[in-house]
Structure formats: C-alpha cells, structure tokens
Amino acid sequence: MKIIILGAGYVGMELASYLAGAGHAVTLVDQPSQKLDQIGSRVDLRVIQGNPSSPVVLRNAGAENTELLVAATADDEANITACCIGAFLFHIPRRIARIRSAEYLQEADSIFGPSGIPIDHLISPEHITTDDIMGLIELPGASSAAKFFDGMLTTVCARAQNGGKLLGKTYSEFEKFDARTALLSVYRHGKMVENPLGEKVTAGDEVYYCCQTERALSQLSAIRPLKTTGSDITIAGGSHVADALAVRLAERFRVKLIEPDTERSARIADRLYGSEVEIYNADPTSLDFMQEEQLQRSDIYIAASPSDETNIMSALLLHRLSNVNTLAVIRGDSYFRLAESSSAEIDTVVSPNEATISALLSNIRQEGVVSMRLFRQGKSEAIELLLEGSRFSSRVIGRKPDAIPLPKDSSLGLVLRGDRIISTNGDFTFEEGDRVLVFLNDHKQMRQLIRDFRPRAFWIPRWQ
C-alpha cells in the first residue's frame, strides 16, 4: 500500500517506521528539520520536507497515486486542511486525521464524514489515553490492557507478586485457574521465557495473557494480590487527559484535580462548575501541599501533567512517603524506561504514544487484521485476525493449531466463533469466520503472520 504520513513527531515517526517495516511504500512529510534528515538513512522510506498541508508538497510526495493519507501533525487545522486537499485535489481514497481539540471532537458527528469534512477516521490521543487509564483502574495492578473481539476478550500484562494465589504453581495451572484463559508470553529479568507453561509463577515475572473480559480481574488475582480501587482519586493536571479523566472519574469517585497554572485552573473551574471535582491551583511536587491537603489518603494518584519529569517525581514522592497506589503518564521514550525501572514505586506507567499508534494501525486495515495493540514499547503486539477463505484456499482453515505456520516467538490466544470464546486445545480446528488472537513477541514478524493467515492468491470472496 502507498501511504503518506504527515508529521514527524513521535507518533508519525513510529508509525512510519512500523509501516515501512511491514512492507508498505511510506512517504513521511514535515517541515525541514535535522530529525527528518536523519530518519531517511535509518528507515526504508521516502522523506519530503515542506509544509504538510501544501498542495505542492503533497504532489511532490506522490499524493496523486496514494491509497492512504495519515495526517498526524500537532496542528489540528493543518491535519484537516491536508485531508481536504487530499480528497478534493488528489482523490486519495482513505484519510485519517489526528485531532486533539475538544471543540472539534464534541461536534465530530456533524463536522466530519461523508457529508462533511472528508476524514474517514479521527484519532484523539487524549481520548485514547483516557480510555486506557479507565481500563487500568478497572484492573488495579495490571501494567497494560487492551480489549478485542468487540470487548469480549481482554489482553492483560501484569507483574507477578507475592500474594498471588498461584505463586509457585505452574503456568499451566494459571490457564485453568478461573476463566477461559490463554497464556501468551512470560518475561523474566527482561528475557522471554521459552515454553512457559511448565515454568512456575515467580514474583517479578512479566505475564501476558488473554481471557474473557468479565473474568479478567479474577484471573489477575492468580499472579498478584488484588488492590481495592477505593473512593478517593487525585490527578495531577495541566493536560487534556487530566481534565477528561477528572470529569469521567467524578461520576464514581471523589476526585481532586491539581492544576499548577493559575489561569488554566480558573478556566477549568468555570468549565467544571457544578461537577464534584475539587480543583487546586498548586505544584503537584510540593511536599507542603501534599501534607496540607493530605494526598497520602488518596487511593490512587494519577500523574497526568504535560511534564514527564513532574509525573515521575510526584508519583515517586507520594509512593515513598505514603505508599499510595500510583499511575504515571509518560510520553518520552527515555523517561518511560526510567519510570519502568522504578516499577516497584510507580505501580503503572502509561504510554499515550503506544496507545495512539495502536489505534492508528487498527484503522489502517491490513489484510485480515481486525484490530491490534502494541506492548513492550512497541516491541510486541497482540493482533486480532479474521479467517477468510476455505480449506482449499487457506493455510489455516480446517487445520489444527499445531499444523499452522506461526512465526517464531509467537503464540495463539483464544478464538471467537459466532458469539462464543473458545480455546484452541483438544480437537479444535479453525473454521472460516473465526476471529483469532495472536501474540507476537517480535512485532517484525507481523508481515509474515498476515501472509500466512490470508487466503492464497486464487481465492475469490463470496458474493454478499
């Protein structure tokens, strides 16, 4: 597929690198910069420097022969303009835009779509991150989680801890513990464990599994003690993510929002007037403020300010002083590694970039891919695949799991057949229409996986 990506920020760069590695013809467009000069020598893609919303620049990028335009700059208006030019001038068939402004998103159904601005899919990093954090609040103790099969299946990453019900037992017992569950992968001391089902659950193991969504929390108790969410949540603000979280969480919890900017705190207070959110104009890293407002009584502290340094520092302080359950939103790659290395003190680290790229990739419909989610800072991924074809045209349909060509270091999860989630054990054989979850420890194997699961070239889809 020929793809143009506008914007060479973290999201645009990572998306371009991923798609180029998956075999797509990718062109990356942004204003001239040293960073843009360097990426062309590291990744197999084409680089065009110039205004991303300029018709001349888009024409130079090959817009006349492009199948997909992804507008991922930091400027909403530039993304909207580029999609309009791509549709009306170059007739690019599919257009995806990154939109951050709440004003646009609130009126999205009226503004965008077939009868409005020609954008097929909107990606909002703030909304995606908010949904991510809300999901982790429902699974206290999980490091990351993602839903598949229209929400019926949840893939979870969590570290095993002392107090887990199956600590010291084998991972084969973990699969039989409560729900219909499939173990996907285990990392011990940063290295993948080969054939983990025979291994014992050990404190510190990084465990990836998938199970029925309604049983995900109970299954989590097998590897770590469950923490009650409580009723008091404190959020370090200054970002759209913090504002959105405060509004949604106030429906169920007592919420304090700490906003260090005086003018912004006044605007938020006006906007949230009538809600149950308590707003404080203060520095979230101030020990005096923490003690004065008794933040140590918080059941969860969510560090969601725009500053990675502030998020790490405030989360560490609250944990060390009062052992508060902490969650930190970290955007920079180096800071993410630092926060993860402090995982004993920062309970959960959330990457908005990882979640945003996953959402973008899920909307870039590759053959047979329904949705996907990156894990381990993009090194691994879970993929939901739809099986199409027949016993004659497919390498998978009609075969048992041990007879299909899975890439190295990958594992099968569960299968959705009709409205039932089933395991791949026993006499299971794949059927047309099955939706299958596959976990790749090495995301570079994605291309091979899609090639092996799609029908052979002579397959003709059925008429609807």
First to last CA, the chain: 25
290 Cβ neighbours under 8 A, 6+ residues apart: 296, 317, 318, 321
- Within 10 angstroms of residue 172's Cβ, the number of other Cβ atoms is 12
Task: Report strand pairing: 191-192 vs 348-350.
Answer: unpaired
- Classify residue 125 by its DSSP letter: H
Q: Which residues pair with 209 in a beta bridge?
A: 156, 183
- DSSP E strands, 31-99: 46-49, 68-71, 94-98
Sort 344 into a burial class: Cβ within 10 Å, 0-12 / 13-18 / 19+.
Answer: exposed
What's residue 19's pLDDT? 86
Specify the length of the chain in residues.
Answer: 464
Spatial CA neighbour of 11 closest among 71, 68, 77 = 71
* Reported pTM: 0.88
Spatial CA neighbour of 411 closest among 204, 207, 233, 112 = 207
Q: pLDDT below 70 — which residues of the chain?
A: 40-41, 340-344, 365-367, 456-464
Let me know: does 260 contact 284? Beta carbons within 8 Å: yes
Let me know: does 36 contact 28? Beta carbons within 8 Å: yes
Amino acid at 99: I
**Residue 324 CA, distance from chain mean position:** 25
Amino acid at 178: D
- Classify residue 117 by its DSSP letter: B
Let me know: does 400 contact 428? Beta carbons within 8 Å: yes
Consecutive H or E run containing 240: helix 240-249
- Within 10 angstroms of residue 445's Cβ, the number of other Cβ atoms is 19
Let me know: does 323 contact 259? Beta carbons within 8 Å: no
Helix (H, G, I), strand (E, B) or coil at 212: strand
Task: Report strand pairing: 2-6 vs 369-375.
Answer: unpaired
- DSSP E strands, 304-430: 325-329, 348-350, 369-375, 380-386, 410-417, 420-422
What distance in Å separates the CA atoms of residue 266 and residue 274, rounded to the nearest whole number?
14
Distances (CA, A) of 189 to 110, 158, 159, 204, 205: 50, 14, 11, 8, 7
